[in-house]
Amino acid sequence: MKTLKLSNIVWCAALTLCACGDSSVDSTGVVAPNAAESDSAGETTEVSNPEISSDNQGSTAENQSSVSTEQSSSTEEVIIEQVASDPVMVSEISGDPVITFTNASVSVSNDNGCIAQNEKTITISCQGNYQLTGSSNDNQIIVNAGSTDNVYLYLNGLQLASASDAPIYVQNANKVFLLLVDGTKNTLEDASTRTKAYTKSNGSSDTTNATIYAKDDLTIKGSGALTVTGNYNNGIHCSNDLRIRDLPEITVKAKNHAIKGKGSVNIEGGYFELTATNGDGIKSDEGDDEGVVTEEKGIVIITGGEFNINAGDDGIQAYNYILIADSTSTPLITVNSKGKGIATDNRLYVNGGVTSVTSGDDGLHSNMNIYFNGGRTTISAGDDGIHADSTLRISDGSINITKAVEGIEAFYIRAEGGKTATVASDDAWNAAGGSADANSTSGSQWGGRGGPTGMMSGSKGYIIISGGYHYLYAAGNDIDVLDANGTATMSGGVLLLEIGSSGRSSAMFASGNQGGNQGGSWGGSSSCSTNTAGGLIDTDNGFSINGGVLLGFGSQTEEYPYCTATSYTAGTAYGSSKAAFKPSSSGSMIIYGGEVSSVSQVDVSGMTEVTLPNGMTYYEK
C-alpha cells in the first residue's frame, strides 16, 4: 500500500465520485454541491450542480446524489490516504500482441493482424490489448482504430522518443487506455518541432500538439511511473475527456501546458510533478473559443492525488468549473504559479482537499462564483487572495490567506460558516464590482473606495455574515479591514478585525470626525472618532449587526456599533466573559457589537479555545 507523503490534517467528509473517460463504472457515488439561491438584491448565483458522468457513453450517471453544502464545522478531522487498487500486470494479457522497440528495429510478437509498420511509425488499427516495451529514440505509435473500438496500451518499461513528432498519437478510437504496468518506469519525449501534418476527416490538417496527443477519450491508470517531456507544446493533451485513476506516478515537463483535457480532466488519484514553463499546470477549456458553456465540458475535477504544480501561467484553469473534493482519498495540491493559482471563467467548488497556492496574480479566481464547502486552503498571492466577479460563498472549510493585496474580493461575500484568516496590504475583505448605477450594463467596475479619502465608490458590493469564524487583518497605507461599496450586514458568526501596527495611524485624522460616517455609528463612546477614510469598517451604505460577535482592534474606523477608546496590548485578551481575542499588535481603540455589549481585559481561563486557520486563538463560552 502506498500512502500520501504529507501528514496534513484535513476537514473532510466521505465525498465520492464517478467520472467519464473509462469503460468501467466506479462503485462510488457522486458529490454535487447544491445550487446557490439568487438574492433579492440581484445576486447572480443561481447555477446548476456539476454533473459527473460514469458510463462509457458519458451520459449522466443514474446514481448521482446531491450532497448538501450545509456541512457541520464539527466534522471529524481525518486523512483519507491513497490506497493502491489491483496492480496492472502484463500477465493479464498473456497471448496478446507485444511491440518491442529498439533504436535499430521494432519487433511484433503475437500479431493480431492490426499492427502495421511504415518506417518508424507503428499504427494500431483495431481494438484489443497491446504491450509496449523496449527503448527507442525515434519511433512513433499511432492509434487509428474504429470509432467504437477501445484500445488498451500496456506500457511495460517503455522508453520512447520521436525526433520529428509525438511518440503517441491517438488519431481515432472510441477510448484509449494507457496502463502503467506496476513497478515499471516509462518515459515519453517528443520533438521540439513538427515536420508532419495529418488530414482530418473533414479534410483539414492537424498537427500533434503534445507528447501524448489524443483526439478521443484517454484514460491513464495503473501504479507504474510515467515521465513526459513536452518540447514542442503540451505534455499530455486530450481533445475530449481525460481521466487519470489508480496511483500512477506522473511527471510532466512541458513548454506550454503540462496536462490538458479540452473536454474535461478528471483525476482520482496518483502522484503528480507538473511543470508548465509558459502555460497552465492542468487545463480544460472547451467552450472558451465560442464563449458558450457546454454541460460537463470545460471542467477539471480532482478527487484524490498528490500534486506539485509549477506553472508559468495558471496552476489549474477551466472554462466551465473546477471541483476539488475528497473521495476515496484526500487531494493534496500545491501550486506555485506566475499567473493565477486556480482559475475558472465560471465556477469553482472547494468541497475538500488540502490546497496550498503561491501565485503571482490572484490565488483563487472566478469570473463568476466561488463556493467553499470544505477542505483546507492556504493562499499567498501577488494580487487578490480570492476573487469572484459575482459571489463568494463560504459555507464550511478552512481558509488561510497569508499574503495578498486584497484578501477577499467579490461583488457578494457570503460568510455562512467555516473558519477564515486573512492578511492583506490593502483591504482584507472588499465587496465591490457591481455597478453603482442600477441602469448600467457595463459589467464589473472593480476598484477601491474611489480615492485616498475613501469617498463613495463608483461600484456596489455586499457583505453578508451569518456564521463561521473570520479574522481579518490589514496593514499599510490607505487600507480598510472590512470594506463594502454597498452594505455589510451581520446576523451570526464571529468577526474579528485588526489594523496592523504598520497601518495608517489616527494622527492622519487628528481633527476627529472628518465629515461623519456614511453608515452611522450608534451607542459608542464620544471619544472614538470616525472618519470617511475607513479603517476597521468602511461601507458606502451602512453596516448593521443583529447577532454574532464583533471585535475590532485599530485606531480608526468609518463605522461601528459600539466603541471604546481603550488602549490594548498585543497578546492580551480583550472582550467579554463570553467572547475574547488576543490581537497581534497594540492600539488605542476597540469596536464591538452583537453579543458583546462591553469590552475590557479578560481572563480567558475556563473559556473554550477556537483555533483559527493562522494559528491564532479566539475564546468563547
Longest dimension (CA), the chain: 92
Residue ranges of the chain with pLDDT lower than 70? 1-77, 434-458, 502-527, 529, 531-534
- Distance (Å, rounded) from C-alpha 330 to C-alpha 355? 10
Do residues 557 and 537 lie in contact, with contact meaning Cβ atoms separated by under 8 Å? yes
Q: What angle do CA 567, 568, 573 make, to 5 degrees?
A: 145
Strand pairing category for 98-101 and 106-109: antiparallel
Beta partners for residue 265, in sequence order: 242, 300
- Distance (Å, rounded) from C-alpha 389 to C-alpha 193? 40
- Distance (Å, rounded) from C-alpha 250 to C-alpha 88? 16
DSSP string, 155-183: EEEEEEE-SSS-SEEEEE-SEEEEEE-TT
Residue 450's pLDDT is what? Answer: 36
- Distance (Å, rounded) from C-alpha 537 to C-alpha 195? 62
Residue 476's pLDDT is what? Answer: 82
Do residues 113 and 132 lie in contact, with contact meaning Cβ atoms separated by under 8 Å? no
Residue 502's pLDDT is what? Answer: 56
DSSP string, 334-381: EEEESS-SEEESSEEEE-S-EEEEEESS-SEEESSEEEEEEEEEEEEE
Q: Which three cell numbers stand for residue 505?
A: 495611524
Residue 581's pLDDT is what? Answer: 98
> How many Cβ atoms from other residues are within 10 Å of residue 604's Cβ?
19
- Distance (Å, rounded) from C-alpha 104 to C-alpha 102? 5
Check residue 533 and give left, alpha or beta (phi > 0: left; psi -120 to 50: alpha).
Answer: alpha
> CA of 142: how far to CAs of 145, 439, 444, in Å?
9, 57, 47
Q: Which three cell numbers stand for residue 115?
A: 499492427
Question: Is residue 611 classed as helix, strand or coil in its secondary structure?
Answer: strand
> How many Cβ atoms from other residues are within 10 Å of residue 508's Cβ?
15
Beta partners for residue 460, in sequence order: 434
DSSP state of 508: G
For 235-293, the three-class secondary structure string (H helix, E strand, C coil) is EEEECCEEEECCCCEEEEEECCCCEEECCEEEECCCEEEEEECCCCCEEECCCCCCCCC
Non-local (6+) Cβ contacts of 364 within 8 A are 340, 341, 342, 343, 348, 350, 357, 370, 377, 379, 385, 386, 387
pLDDT per residue as tens digits for the range 294-329 = 999 999 999 999 999 999 999 999 999 999 999 989
Residue 84's pLDDT is what? Answer: 75
